[in-house]
Structure 1
């Protein structure tokens, strides 16, 4: 998809589409935050065990 096609698709979004995208964005943000927290915890545990 080109930038122009993406822009046109964004322009054509309705209120229902926008609300759905916002709900999905909240879920994706929460999932990513959980992943980052788990990854950071794993790094801290590994550094404690291995002295790295």
Structure 2
């Protein structure tokens, strides 16, 4: 369901996304890029602040 919605928003066929994440670091690489684009910062290790 999520893949179909994402594909629709991107204007592509869901089949194109079938292999997404096959490379071990694809998801973490893309998350890092998106977080940088959005200006998100990592919480310090051991942080409990919300």
Tell me the TM-score normalized by structure 1. Answer: 0.40
Q: Which structure: greater helix fraction? A: 1
Higher normalized contact order (CA 8 Å, seq sep 6+, divided by chain length) = 2
Tell me the TM-score normalized by structure 2. Answer: 0.41
